């Protein structure tokens, strides 16, 4: 089978290769990595995650959530999730803080959440910029796809959405109308007390977004979210000098509703963030492969800042 040393983290990979990579990680690190299938897509593909953590029998652990690829065309996001897993696995043996974090917390990482959309975006040049999932539209509409980042049960359907099923920001027929959204809601919702952070990875724009997407709501821990977020942006900048802006979507991007980040924060997960990785629009979703490494290195540093803060606060 495929071994970690043979995997090229600095290329984009089609879905089958990412699935083999997941199995390879389980094979290579059987004591710390398990793979869980937690859902099925509209087209009946499996949604899988890697749970990474040191097994500590009898001890109740906390957890960190990371998902990549809610939007199909944002290929740098799945690349980042894979890089993230490889880095924490490489460092925990020698880095005592990472070792402690892996003893106290499990990392639940979904490399590709919108599996159908991702597969479709790999089909050919005409589908490369697909964003949504692949559910057939409601009766009378011939378009496909719901925007999964508008479909969560968080002020659903109120702002920054469309009810036109042909729109890229179609929010679906109801909150959680999509199986993908339902599975994430069940999986995270049933363990919500465990999760210290919820990190959802998108591109592009070089932003770190805090709840909420709706301008009428402010997170109760907004100051903490901003302070930690600004620290993360500093950590990002230190790596390759890249600037990330930090703020709520209405303040620095555009208002919206039904995002997974807002839903997670409403569940009581305090440190919920959306990463918008490189770039600022020069290449946009088609970020060249020669920028994968630098994008991942800097975002890793930013994500670790948040995770380390969460760990330090609790343990």
Minimum Å gap between C-beta 184 and Zn ion is 15
Is the CB of residue 313 less than 8 Å from the CB of residue 228? no
Q: Where are the alpha helices (DSSP H) in the chain?
A: 15-28, 76-91, 96-104, 115-121, 179-189, 222-240, 249-252, 260-266, 292-314
- Under DSSP, the state recorded for 270 is S
Our answer to whether residue 180 is catalytic in this structure is no
> Please, is 259 exposed, middle or buried when counting C-beta atoms within 10 Å of its C-beta (0-12, 13-18, 19+)?
buried
x-or-dash pattern for ligand PAY, window 205-244, by CB under 6 A? x---x---x-------------------------------
Of 13, 45, 62, 71, the one binding Zn ion (CB under 5 A) is 71
Minimum Å gap between C-beta 296 and ligand PAY is 17
Residue 180 binds which of ligand PAY, Zn ion, none (CB < 5-8 A, kind-dependent): none
Of 249, 267, 272, 295, the one binding ligand PAY (CB under 6 A) is 249
Answer yes or no whether residue 202 interacts with ligand PAY by CB under 6 A.
yes
Report the relative pairing of strands 46-52 and 105-110 from DSSP bridges.
antiparallel
- Residue 191: asked if its preceding bond is cis (omega within 30°), the reply is no
What span, in angstroms and rounded, lies between the C-alpha atoms of 99 and 95?
6
Nearer to Zn ion, 72 or 310 (CB): 72
Answer yes or no whether residue 150 interacts with Zn ion by CB under 5 A.
no
Q: Which residues are catalytic?
A: 276
Residue numbers of the site for ligand PAY (CB under 6 A)?
A: 71, 74, 149, 202, 204-205, 209, 213, 249, 256, 259, 261, 274, 276
């Amino acid at each position: 089978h495929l071994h970690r040393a043979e995997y090229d983290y600095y290329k984009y990979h089609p879905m089958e290769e990412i699935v083999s990579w997941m199995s390879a990680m389980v094979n290579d690190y059987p004591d710390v990595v398990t793979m869980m299938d937690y859902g099925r897509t509209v087209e009946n593909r499996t949604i899988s995650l890697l749970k990474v953590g040191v097994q500590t029998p009898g001890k109740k652990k906390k957890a960190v959530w990371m998902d990549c690829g809610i939007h199909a065309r944002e290929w740098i996001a799945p690349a980042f999730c894979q890089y993230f897993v490889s880095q924490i696995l490489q460092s925990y043996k020698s880095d005592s803080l990472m070792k402690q974090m892996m003893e106290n917390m499990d990392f639940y990482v979904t490399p590709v959440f919108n599996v159908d959309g991702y597969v479709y975006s790999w089909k050919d040049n005409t589908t490369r910029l697909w964003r949504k999932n692949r559910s057939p539209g409601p009766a009378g509409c011939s378009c496909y796809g719901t925007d999964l980042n508008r479909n969560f049960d968080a002020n659903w359907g109120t702002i920054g959405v469309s009810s036109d099923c042909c729109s890229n920001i179609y929010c679906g027929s109801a909150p959680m109308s999509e199986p993908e959204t339902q599975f994430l809601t069940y999986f995270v919702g049933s363990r919500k007390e465990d999760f210290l952070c919820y990190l959802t990875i998108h591109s592009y724009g070089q932003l770190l977004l805090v709840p909420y997407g709706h301008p009428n709501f402010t997170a109760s821990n907004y100051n903490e979210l901003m302070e930690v977020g600004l620290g993360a942006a500093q950590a990002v900048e230190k790596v390759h000098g890249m600037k990330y802006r930090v703020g709520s979507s209405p303040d620095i991007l555009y208002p919206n509703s039904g995002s997974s980040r807002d839903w997670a924060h409403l569940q009581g997960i305090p440190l919920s963030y959306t990463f918008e990785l490189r770039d600022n629009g020069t290449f946009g979703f088609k970020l060249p492969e020669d920028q994968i490494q630098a994008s991942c290195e800097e975002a890793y540093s930013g994500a670790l800042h948040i995770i380390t803060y969460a760990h330090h606060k609790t343990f």
